[in-house]
């Protein structure tokens, strides 16, 4: 059963002349950290990849050091703990899938690294999902116990409850943290996570077009110049 078709929103970063809004990415990362990361992993993202785009080196180093990682086994085969560093990956909330299911009523919160690409509808779908929980399921709808009604989720019964409420986080840039603002920011952040190369691709595309246009203009001029005596 298909879910309700999500609204198409005018995402700025979908436009081919626009890069990601880095301030929005920074807010979105905060939402991921403070809200989603208690259940969802972001396995493919190392701390270092956020440096420059979303945070400074020092900020990411400090964040990495908040977590402990296993060392390589030493000569006796012992594994010890060491503080995280930039090359480490963002840690997952659970040890493994069994632990994740045990904590979520049997449901598995999927890894979010590629979620924007993995789900039909991408940003529009995830935004609609996060903001689309009605106060009450509509009259006549059946919701299995332990599940929550969300019209955008295929099947409409989703194990994830509504997580975003106005004022849940406090943004350092003063942006009012409404539920829809947080949803927008976290979706843009998740799009960046799935396509961190997008900005470079667009910038390179611009160069290709600009230089291509210049070379084309030059070739037209050269052609006219060379043939001008033949007319
Ligand atoms: C599923 C996003 C927070 C638990 C999902 C899905 C997305 C998502 C995109 C996949 C839906 C699908 O399969 O089409 C987010 C975001 C969050 C967030 C962006 C933060 C803003 C949480 C939290 C929890 C949670 C805090 C746990 C308390 C789950 C579970 C599922 C799920 C259990 C599986 C649902 C099912 O298959 O029925 N989430 N989530 N999520 N999420 Fe979250």
**What confidence tier does 2 reach under pLDDT thresholds 50, 70, 90?**
confident
Structure confidence by residue, pLDDT tens digits, 81-137: 999 999 999 999 999 999 999 999 999 999 999 999 999 999 999 999 999 999 999
Going from the C-alpha of 75 to that of each of 38, 72, 78, 83, the distances in angstroms are 35, 10, 7, 20
Report, in angstroms and rounded to the nearest whole number, the Rg of the chain calculated over CA atoms: 23
| The pLDDT of residue 30 | 98
Expressed in angstroms and rounded, the spacing between residue 110 Cα and the centre of ligand 1 is 7
CB 109 less than 6 A from any atom of ligand 1: yes
CA dist 186 and 123 (Å) reads 10
CA dist 96 and 65 (Å) reads 22
Contact of 153 with 162, CB cutoff 8 Å: no
For 201, list phi and psi in degrees, rounded to 5.
-65, -45
For 222, list phi and psi in degrees, rounded to 5.
-60, -40
CA dist 102 and 96 (Å) reads 10
Closest CA to 162 of 192, 198, 136: 136
CB 169 less than 6 A from any atom of ligand 1: no
Q: Kindly report the pTM of this predicted structure.
A: 0.92
Instruction: Tell me what the mean pLDDT of segment 10-22 comes to.
Output: 93
Contact of 90 with 42, CB cutoff 8 Å: yes
| The pLDDT of residue 205 | 94
ipTM over 0.90: yes
Distance of CA 97 to the CA centre of its chain: 21
| The pLDDT of residue 230 | 80
| The pLDDT of residue 1 | 62
CB 194 less than 6 A from any atom of ligand 1: no
Residue closest by Cα to atom 11 of ligand 1: 153
193, pLDDT greater than 80: yes
Instruction: Tell me what the mean pLDDT of segment 191-209 comes to.
Output: 94
CA dist 31 and 172 (Å) reads 12
**What confidence tier does 19 reach under pLDDT thresholds 50, 70, 90?**
very high
**What confidence tier does 231 reach under pLDDT thresholds 50, 70, 90?**
low
Tally the C-alpha atoms within 13 A of residue 130's C-alpha that lie toward its C-beta: 24
Closest CA to 113 of 217, 204, 27, 189: 189
CA dist 159 and 153 (Å) reads 10
| The pLDDT of residue 225 | 93
Residue closest by Cα to atom 16 of ligand 1: 36
**What confidence tier does 185 reach under pLDDT thresholds 50, 70, 90?**
very high
| The pLDDT of residue 47 | 97
């Amino acid at each position: 059963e298909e879910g309700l078709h999500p609204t198409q929103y005018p995402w700025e970063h979908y436009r081919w002349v626009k890069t990601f809004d880095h301030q929005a990415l920074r807010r979105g990362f905060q939402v991921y950290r403070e809200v989603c990361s208690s259940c969802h992993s972001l396995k493919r993202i190392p701390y270092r990849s956020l440096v420059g785009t979303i945070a400074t080196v020092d900020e990411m180093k400090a964040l990495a050091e908040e977590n402990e990682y296993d060392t390589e086994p030493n000569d006796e085969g012992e594994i010890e703990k060491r503080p995280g560093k930039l090359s480490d990956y963002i840690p997952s909330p659970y040890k493994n899938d069994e632990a994740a299911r045990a904590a979520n009523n049997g449901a598995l919160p999927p890894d979010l690294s590629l979620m924007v690409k993995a789900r039909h509808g991408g940003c529009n779908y995830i935004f609609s999902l996060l903001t689309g929980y009605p106060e009450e399921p509509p009259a006549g709808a059946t919701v299995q116990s332990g599940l929550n009604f969300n019209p955008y989720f295929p099947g409409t019964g989703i194990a994830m409850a509504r997580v975003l409420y106005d004022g849940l986080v406090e943004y350092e840039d003063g942006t009012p943290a409404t539920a829809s603002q947080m949803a927008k920011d976290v979706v843009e952040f998740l799009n960046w996570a799935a396509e961190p190369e997008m900005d470079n691709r667009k910038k390179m595309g611009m160069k290709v077009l600009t230089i291509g246009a210049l070379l084309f203009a030059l070739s037209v001029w050269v052609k006219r110049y060379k043939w001008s005596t033949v007319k």
